[in-house]
Amino acid sequence: MVLADVRWYLDGRSGRDAYDRGHIPGAVFVDLDRWLAGPASPAAGRHPLPDPATFAEGMSSVGIGDGSMVVAYDDQGGVIAARLVWMLRVTGHDAALLDGGIQSYRATLETGPPANPARAGGPVPPRPFTPPAWPADRLASIEDASDPANTVIDARAPERFSGEDEPIDPRGGHIPGARNLPCRSNLDSEGRFLPVDALRGRFERVGVGGDPGGVPMISYCGSGVTACHNLLALELAGFGQGRLYPGSWSQYSHDEARPVETGTGPERVG
């Protein structure tokens, strides 16, 4: 089992610095920008999926191999670490979130660079990790996300969804027809997932849970990271697997030809 620290911050703080100041003993640091995303651009978004070879290199370099079981955490209830868990799961690997994140670990934290748990002080040895193909049936395009026939869920905070506040992307608002299900509201006050019945209720209020043979829900956020938390919550709630729109709002909002909807209402918020 490999314990992975996937801390990352929208405000520019360094996840690696946070890791070095204190992490769960034995955890390795996984750099989201380097290994879990490709080059950013207006056409692709801030965190497009990386080339499979890049993902494989990153996993191998921190000691995650083809047969590894990965447990990932952050300090935000898993809304960032969910990206790694989702990427591993859709490519056939065993992965899970540490419910409650680093705050749930009550003992002394470890500091400094990662070390081989089997040999104190030594480096983490690389393990073979086969470059995966991203499964087309688990992904959604900008056209899919724009199609009103699809159930599209936005994981961002309500003020970003409504267009009242947009700190990073060129336009505020959301994809027309999308419903707001803020991913951080999947959690209780201690940063753990809500009970399954409560999660199911949240998804049902935004239109998920109808015909089980219908088109899978599409999840997006600012850049395709926290949207993965809604996809994991969807599975936990018993609704099966949804689709990720990797470009998310950071791609959509750059396309001036695409219409934008602002405002919100009780029928759109879970």
Given 71, 72, 221, 232, the catalytic residue: 221
3-state secondary structure the chain: CEEEECCCCCCCCCHHHHHHHCECCCCEECCHHHHCCCCCECCCECCCCCCHHHHHHHHHHCCCCCCCEEEEECCCCCCCCHHHHHHHHHCCCEEEECCCHHHHCCCCCECCCCCCCCCCCCCCCCCCCCCCCCCHHHECCHHHHHCCCCCEEECCCHHHHHCCCCCCCCCCCECCCCEECCHHHHECCCCCECCHHHHHHHHHHCCCCCCCCCCCCEEECCCCCCHHHHHHHHHHCCCCCCEECCCHHHHHCCCCCCCCECCCCCCCEC
Amino acid at 146: S
221 carries an active-site annotation? yes
User: 207 vs 144, 202, 211, 243, CA distance in Å?
Assistant: 17, 9, 10, 15
Question: What span, in angstroms and rounded, lies between the C-alpha atoms of 229 and 135?
Answer: 18
Residues with active-site annotation: 221
